[in-house]
Every structure is written in C-alpha cells, then in structure tokens.
Amino acid sequence: MEFDLIELIRQRTTQPRDDVRLGIGDDAAVLAVPAGQELAVAIDTLVEGVHFPPGTAAADIGWKALAVNLSDLAAMGANPAWALLALTLPSADVAFVEGFAEGFAKLAQSHRLALVGGDTTRGPLTISVAVHGFVPPGKALTRAGARVGDAVLVTGTLGDAAAGLHALQQSLDDGDSRAGLREFLIGRLNLPTPRLSAGAALRGQASACVDISDGLLADLGHICVASGVGAEIDAALLPRSPALMALYDEASALQFALSGGDDYELCFSVPAQRLADVQADLSRLGCGVTKIGRIVEGAGVRVRSTDGEWLATDRPGWEHFA
Amino acid sequence: MEFDLIELIRQRTTQPRDDVRLGIGDDAAVLAVPAGQELAVAIDTLVEGVHFPPGTAAADIGWKALAVNLSDLAAMGANPAWALLALTLPSADVAFVEGFAEGFAKLAQSHRLALVGGDTTRGPLTISVAVHGFVPPGKALTRAGARVGDAVLVTGTLGDAAAGLHALQQSLDDGDSRAGLREFLIGRLNLPTPRLSAGAALRGQASACVDISDGLLADLGHICVASGVGAEIDAALLPRSPALMALYDEASALQFALSGGDDYELCFSVPAQRLADVQADLSRLGCGVTKIGRIVEGAGVRVRSTDGEWLATDRPGWEHFA
C-alpha cells in the first residue's frame, strides 16, 4: 500500500530542517530557499540489472540511489538540502523498503538532507531521486570554465567501481585470500562517497568540475566540450587503489581507471597559480587529490602512456544506449 | 545514447525563463526562486501497464507524466516553474522520445514551465517527473484546514477517466455510433487537465484542497484524516459528464465517480461565507465547480444515495499495492 511504504521511509529518514515548511504527506512539499542562495537540482535513476546487479543489498541500493545524486551536487559545489524519492517496486516488500530506507537514511543524515516527498508505485525495480542543494549566486561550478594551461585533477582513486563490478561478475572462491581486496572494490561500487565537502571547497577555486559517473575519459570529455578545450592526461599519474593494483594487471587497471564508470570522484580543472592551495585545502578535508594532466588547445582527451606514447582511446566510457 | 535523447527532449521543450540560471547540460541545474516565494515540489511516477496501458500514444504519455505532477501543484495553489524528467526506456526509440517530448512540451509551454534537467536510462518503460512551483509564504493549500460546516466542492466532472479506462479495455466496434463519447472519456484518461488556475484562485479561499488521483472517496478521505473531520457527500450532486451518463448505467457511473482514479480534478473545502464568491471566481476562469457535500464532525467519508440511504463505501479507491 503506497502510503504505508512512504510513511515507513519517512520514519526512517527523519531529518528536521527549518527550511522544510511542509514535508511528506500532502500533495507537494513546501520549502524555503534561504535568502542569498540559488538552488541546484538534479535527478538520476537506478534500474535493477542496469545500474546494479539483481541481488544487491537493499541498503546498498538506498545508499547508492542518493549517493549518485549527491555526487551531482558535489560537482556543482552545492550544499545538499532536500530530496524527492520515486520508488518503483515489483511488490510491497516491507523488508526491502526497510533496508532501502536504512541505507538512504544513513547517507542522508550524514549530510543533514531531508526527504521531503515521494511516490511509491508497482513495477520493475527502478529508483529515481531528485536532489536539491544551495549555492551562492553565480558561484556554482560548471563544466564550462576550463582554460588552456589549467591543471586537471581528480579526487580519490579511479577504476575501483568498475573493477568491483568485474569482481562481482566472477564466481570466485569465498575462501580466497584476496576476498578482502575484492570486498573493498565492491564496496566502492555499491557505496560510493559523494565528494560534497571537496566540491564546496572548490567553489571559487576550480575553473570547471564534473563528477565521474561514466568514466574519466567520458566525463573529462564533457568539460572539454563545454569549455571548448582539449585535455592531456598522463597514465602514470592516475591514482589507483592498492586493491585495484593487487587484483588486476596494469592493462586492466588502466582500462578501469580511464573508462570505468561509477567511481563518483570529482574531476576538475584549476588555474596553475591556485594549484598548491587547492591541493592543500582538499587534503585538509581528508580528500585525496591528484594532478593527472592539463588543459590544452584543441578538443578531446588524449592519454600519454608510461612510455610516452599516445594511447588509442576509442572507448570513451559507459553509455546506456551505446 | 543518453545525451542525444536528453538533447532531443530539450530542443522540443525549450521554454526560456529568467529564473533558470543554468539549464540542461551540466551535472545539475541552477535556479533562482523569486524573493518572497516558497517552493512547492512533488514527484510522481508512471509505469507502463500500471498507470497507462501498453500501446498508449507516446505524446499522451508525455502529457500525462507532466499533468499528474502539475495537478499536485494545483492542489497546493502553486504556480508551476520547473520540471525534472527521469525517463527509463527499453531502447533508444527516437520516435517514442519525439512523441513523448511533443506531448510533454505542449503542456509545459501552456504553463511556461521549463524542463531544467533529466536522466535517460535503459529499462522497463517508467517515467518520473519532479515539478517545482512557487507559492507565497504560508499561503500553500494543504489537506489539513477543513472545518466542520465547510462546504465540499469539486472542479469539473468525476468518473470520466475510470470510465475511459473501462472503455479502452472493451473491444468495441470502431464503427459504433458512440465512438465519439468513448473518445471523450479516453481523452479524459490520457490527457488530464491540471487545474492550475483554479488552484491558484483558491489560495486564501479554500480551507483544504487535494487533487483526485486515487478517487473521490480516497482523496477526500485524505482531507478528513489530515483535518481531523468527517465528510458527507450526496450522490445526487456529483458532477458527471454527458458521455459518462450516456455510456454507463447509474450504478456504474456512480461507482466511477466515487472510486475511479485519474480524474485530476480538485476536491476542496470552503467556509460557508465564502462559498458564493469561490464558485463565481472559478466559473469566471472557465472551471466548472460543484458543491457535493459538507464537512462534519467525526471521521471518514459517507455518501448519501439519491433515495436518502447511506451507501456502503468499502472500496475507497485505487491503491497500487492493495
């Protein structure tokens, strides 16, 4: 029954905020954007079998459905405030909804985000979340401001989520001594960390920013198109986790780092004179940050291999309808 | 390919608005709520086979996906501004997307609503739309303000959409002389008219308001629960269309009007002293309005039949997981 499911989710995700004038339970929520703030809004959908494998834990799905949206706010430098949830389920599965709400609420509460509205319908498992955040007028990070000579940086490590998906799809012996490494990678796939504090710290510092959902080449490519520039990155500089390097050979790890989606790290450009400050600021927030290349004239993203050759990069990233 | 679909929809739904600082094409849209306005937000999902039959025209699906959401804004008395669209499709079907965008855009443009963000994914046909509207602080219509003695009114006619669904499910001869009547009812199902100008006119006038998506008994029941009151309605007063009365017997027509969903008319309560003014205001807007009953002490909705008996109303409305 629709109202019980939404009520159950509401109970699990309570987050009092003064700017929520009227929350879940009417035809619409009524919200007050603080004076002197603009609103950043995004929507993203997860579909079972496309964005997560059947059998993924409900709590992980709830976390990830919110995380991929918060990652969009992070890429804009926005501070999260509110979310709407559209949950389509094959049946009124209370255990699933409880698990989902638990994962969703855990991430929401860590960012003081309030769930303000929702719709539960019957159908194939599909979750759309719309998120709302605040950003000072004119200060949103976009894809469009990269300039020739800017450094290109990324947060965290790349390729873990794609490797995690690969590891999930193998049927490996649970007793394997490397199970812990695989769990790390699968955790990076299922429980991504939206880089919200990093994104907020980059306001007024980064010249362009994007989150890596479709793979580094594809998403840095978006910055290049929007900014009218090209980019060169050095394969040797790509930050890759110990787990990725332990479980995969160099060629696979490089492929995951360049083209694997779902990492939800930030990729951004910074004018050279601000580079040291930005690196220091993000490090202070506990966010790893690595310079991987530079913005150049032209178009598209080129990758230099460790022996100095240009790599063929004909598989730019994950495209759902490719 | 995701970006082409969103771009195609964007081209078909262009609606310039000064308050859209950054529209489709980045990680999030950036929007400016006008000073002195609060934000009303809602999300609703349509699933093929649940909310519309397979084979429904793409343009009708696009219209309806937006209409059911705008109806939520109407019920709050909010003026629509922006929408987000999450479209899940089995394949990159350009003809479908073009039709969908055409229907969506037609309704959007008639209300100066801008599509500001979207996500297109592969999967079973599912559409979630999130809408955003403006309402003066403290002036949103809610379900919670009905008082004993208030009149209960509805806009338009009731039961048409449910009858339209019934008509669709019959395999009738196309040459039938009543085909035009059936088309009217099916049109009411597929192309509902959100009562936005009526909702805006009810701000400061209605004591409670809801849109009729699940059926009159269910939705008026929501007002009763939220307001801590009961309601009595007279079957003889229910506004029903000539098409409904021509195609169905009295018992079926009454059942559709009481329990059929998808009409997207407004049901609202008005203090007695304002009744005449409200009726005149809505009529001037070209919106039919009918008093169907009154708010009483107690709980729940009771229906008096034309012969003065209380009807058994044990099937309150459409519930997706009932």
For residue A138, the model assigns a pLDDT of 95
Residues of B in Cβ contact (< 8 Å) with A38: 21, 30-32
Residues B97 and B52 in one domain: yes
How confident is the model at residue A33, as a pLDDT?
96
B143-202 residues touching A, CB cutoff 8 A: 143-144
**Domain CATH code at residue B155:** 3.90.650.10
The predicted model gives A25-52 an average pLDDT of: 94
Same domain assignment for residues A276 and A162:
yes
- Report pLDDT digits (tens) over A240-261: 999 999 999 999 999 999 999 9
CA geometry: angle B1, A221, A82, nearest 5 deg: 75
A 107-146 → B contacts, CB under 8 A: 116-124, 126, 128, 130-133, 135, 137-138, 140, 142-144
**What percentage of chain A exceeds 70 in pLDDT?**
94
Question: Least CA distance to B74: which residue of chain A?
Answer: A27
CB-based contacts of B199: which residues, under 8 Å, 6+ apart? B73, B74, B75, B76, B77, B78, B141, B209, B266
B129, B75: one domain:
yes
Packing angle of the helix pair A58-76, A94-110 (nearest 10 deg): 30
Confidence of residue A53 (pLDDT cuts 50, 70, 90): confident
Question: What is the average per-residue pLDDT within B75-79?
Answer: 98
In a domain, B322, yes or no: no
Residue A14, domain member (yes or no): yes
B272 in the same domain as B160: yes
Question: B319 falls in which pLDDT band (50, 70, 90)?
Answer: very low
Q: Rounded mean pLDDT of B19-26?
A: 92
The answer to which of A114-118, A127-131, A147-151 has the lowest mean pLDDT is A114-118
- Residue B318 above 60 pLDDT? no
Say yes or no for a CB contact (<8 Å) between A30 and B38: yes
Tell me, yes or no, whether A317 lies in a domain: no
CA–CA distance, A116 with A108 (Å, rounded to integer): 12
Q: Which of B111, B135, B159 is the last residue of a domain?
A: B135
pLDDT in tens, A131-158: 999 999 999 999 999 999 999 999 999 9
Q: What is the dihedral of CA B8, B10, B13, B16, to 10 degrees?
A: -150
Task: Say whether pLDDT at B222 is over 80.
Answer: yes
* Same structural domain, B130 and B159: no
Listed range (A40-54, A176-190, B5-19, B217-231) with the worst mean pLDDT: B5-19
Q: Is residue B309 part of a domain?
A: no
Whether residue B124 has pLDDT greater than 50: yes
Rounded CA gap, A48 and A61, in Å? Answer: 9
pLDDT exceeds 80 at position B80: yes
- Asked if B137's CB is within 8 angstroms of A76's CB, the reply is no
Percent of chain B whose predicted confidence (pLDDT) is above 90: 80
Does A321 sit within 8 Å of B1, measured CB to CB? yes
Q: Residue B24 belongs to a domain with what CATH number?
A: 3.30.1330.10
Closest CA to B242 of B175, B161, B155, B157: B157
Structure confidence at residue B172 (pLDDT) = 63
The residue type at B148 = V
Give CA separation, A207 vs A45, A194, B187, in Å: 28, 20, 50
**What's the pLDDT score for residue B15?**
75
Tell whether the model's pLDDT for residue B184 goes beyond 80.
Answer: yes
State the pLDDT confidence band at A172, using cuts at 50, 70 and 90.
Answer: low
When mean pLDDT is compared across A57-71, A242-256, B12-26, B285-299, the lowest value belongs to B12-26
* pLDDT at position B315 over 60: no
Q: Does residue A315 carry a pLDDT above 70? A: no
Domain for residue B249, yes or no?
A: yes
Instruction: Compute the average pLDDT of residues B205-224.
Output: 97
* Chain A residues within an 8 Å CB radius of B75: 27-28
B39 and chain A in contact, CB less than 8 A: yes
Tell me, yes or no, whether B6 and B130 share the same domain.
yes
Please check whether residues A163 and A291 belong to one and the same domain.
yes
Residue A190 · residue A57 · CB < 8 Å: yes
Asked if the model's pLDDT at residue A234 lies above 60, the reply is: yes
Residues B120 and B158 in one domain: no
What pLDDT shows up at residue B291? Answer: 98
Residues A81 and A20 in one domain: yes
- Cβ-Cβ contacts under 8 Å, A46 against chain B: 121
Q: What's the pLDDT at B4?
A: 63
pLDDT at A319 over 50: no
Substitution target in B27, B43, B84, B94 with the highest count of A β-carbons within 10 Å is B27
Q: Which residues of B touch A91 (CB under 8 A)?
A: 321
Residues B129 and B197 in one domain: no
Residue of B238, B248, B245, B241 whose CA lies nearest to B305: B238
Angstrom distance (rounded) from CA A172 to CA A185:
14
Judge contact between B196 and B212, C-beta under 8 A: no
CA gap A190, B280 in Å, rounded: 57
Q: Measuring CA to CA, how many Å separate A305 from each of A242, A257, A302, B189?
A: 20, 13, 10, 59
pLDDT at B146: 98
Domain membership of residue A83 (yes or no) is yes
- Kindly state the average pLDDT of the residues A39-53: 93
The answer, yes or no, to whether residue B314 has pLDDT greater than 60, is no
The residue among B175, B103, B25 whose CA lies nearest residue A226 is: B25
B122 and B175 share one domain: no
Domain assignment of residue B124, yes or no: yes
Q: Does B84 touch chain A (CB under 8 A)?
A: yes
Please give the Cα distance from A193 to A199 (Å, whole number): 12
Average pLDDT, chain A: 91
Residue of A nearest to B144 (CA): A26
Residue A220's pLDDT is what?
97
Tell me whether B236 touches chain A (CB under 8 Å). Answer: no
How much of chain B, in percent, has pLDDT values that exceed 70?
A: 94
Can you spell out the DSSP letters for B268-287? EEE-GGGHHHHHHHHHHTT-
Q: Is B49 on the interface with A (CB under 8 A)?
A: yes
| Residue B116 to residue A41, Cβ atoms within 8 A | yes
Return the pLDDT at B114: 94
Cβ of residue A82 closer than 8 Å to a chain B Cβ: yes
Choice among B4-18, B112-126, B233-247, B296-310 with the minimum mean pLDDT: B4-18
Distance from CA of B246 to the nearest CA of A (A): 33
Which structural domain, as residue segments, surrounds residue A68? 2-135
Q: Is A86 within a domain?
A: yes
Q: Is B22 within 8 Å of A51 when comparing Cβ atoms?
A: no
Q: Output the pLDDT for position B170.
A: 82
Inter-chain contact A21–B140, Cβ cutoff 8 Å?
yes
User: HSE of B284 in the Cβ direction (CA atoms, 13 Å)?
Assistant: 8
Look at residue B191 in the predicted model and tell me its pLDDT: 96
Predicted confidence (pLDDT) at residue B178 exceeds the cutoff of 90: no
Residues A165 and A191 in one domain: yes
Min Cα–Cα distance to chain B from A268, Å: 13
User: A81 at the B interface (CB within 8 A)?
Assistant: no
Sign (positive or negative) of CA dihedral B104, B110, B113, B115: positive
Q: Is pLDDT of A93 > 80?
A: yes
Beginning with the edge strand found earlier in the chain, give each strand of the sheet holding B230-234 in spatial order.
B208-211, B266-270, B151-155, B289-296, B230-234, B300-304
Could you report how far apart the first and last alpha carbons of chain B are, in Å?
37
- Determine the average pLDDT of the residues in A274-303: 96
Cβ neighbours of A227 (radius 10 Å): 21
What tens digit of pLDDT does each residue of B132-174 get?
Answer: 999 999 999 999 999 999 999 999 999 999 999 999 888 666 5
Chain A interface test: which of B26, B266, B319 (most A C-beta within 10 Å): B26
Contact A45 B121 (CB under 8 A): yes
The CA distance from A39 to A140, in Å, is 10
- Which of A81, A110, A135 is at the close of a domain? A135
Least Cα distance to B241 among B156, B153, B178, B152 occurs for B156
Please give the tally of structural domains in chain B: 2
Q: Which residue has the higher pLDDT, A55 or A242?
A: A242
